[in-house]
Structure 1
Amino acid sequence: MSEGVKRRYDSTRRAAQARETRLRILEAAHELFVAQGYGATTVAEVAAAAGVAPETVYSAFRTKLTLLRRAWDLAVGGDDRDVHLLERPEVRAVFDEPDLRARLARFARVNTAIMRRTAGLRLAVEHAAGADPAARELLTEIDGARLDAMGAHARAAATTGRLAVPETTCRDVLFATTDGALWRTLVERRGWSDDDYAAWLGRLWVATLVEGLDLEG
């Protein structure tokens, strides 16, 4: 093996190892923030749970707040690819569905999967926001991004000509039902399955937002 090939191999392996370490840290942080709260969790505890030194966590993320932000990004997307949520294949498939009722049902399934990943962490951010201005700012950013995303869904829904409500109402209904509170109540507290929740949420959106549900099937 030539030196050039060996160096490329070593570099690729180190990059893969660094990525694995970052993911392990983020997963540990997510679990601890949900279990004991953001404020009560120390970087040392995250490092111990991830099996690394605290210095490794600081080197990768610098601050605990950045760790929270990156943990949120990972939870929303489901992986560490630098791809905006609206551009991910599962979400593009929602937009590509021409029938609005089928689109909302598909979106409900996608959103339920996102709630499974994010609802607990969002609650941790909400609790931290009461005492931590930086966490409060993050929560505002999270909700701002979600409102923008629901606006995109509402605009796309309006182009189908099947909305029973104004576009802004559609946006606000979607926004009000995607912050994790409904999922936590029905799935975590009342014991619904994710499949049951997604089916119900899809029916709720269709009944509220889609016109012409009589003789058109």
Structure 2
Amino acid sequence: MTELPPTDRTRLRRAHERGRYDRGTIDAILDAQPVCHIAYLRDGTPALLPTLQWREGDHVYWHGSSASHALRAQDGAEVCLAVTLLDGLVLARSGFHHSVNYRSVTIYGRARRIEDPRRKERHLEAFFERLLPGRWPTLRPVTEQELKATAVLSLPIREASAKLRNGPPVDEEADYGLPIWAGVLPLRTAIGTPVPDPRNPEGLPLPPEVRTFRIG
């Protein structure tokens, strides 16, 4: 299992025992949660972009409009990408020791825009296959104009760390005898009932990628 060397930006200094630098842990978290937030500088001002990410091998990717000021500012710039899964609320016997169970990844590096249209299309197909396996081949082929209107950026997974917490609350020893309920309230993302577009042709069955969709 590949271990990434900690850097000044990725080394955990507080609660360092929760840190992980192995690619197995990092990749599993990235693959479990498409929602990410990307921090960057825009005209010298801190900015944050919420978007969807997907991993292919040693890179993460995200996409948006070619006209997006955010994506233009990120191209060639140092960025920080973060992914978080909230797994539970940890209820302790004091306000101070309440916490959360979570899995998170932070990646630092220089973002690069994918310029080649055919490569861009392959990455977009990989995005669909990661999120909704089997859907891409059923869709109308992407047009050249759509490819031109879409920007895809990449970030290498070279400078990254994961941070995780799991388990019950950790209270002061003297507090364990207090008559206060403590424990973990597990949280998960629930998949709702699919809502068909009212303009669907009659009799269309629910596709398998929708029936089997999972996240987290």
Q: TM-score, normalised by structure 1?
A: 0.26
Relative contact order (C-alpha < 8 Å, sep 6+): which is higher?
2
- Structure number having the greater strand percentage: 2
- Structure number having the greater helix percentage: 1
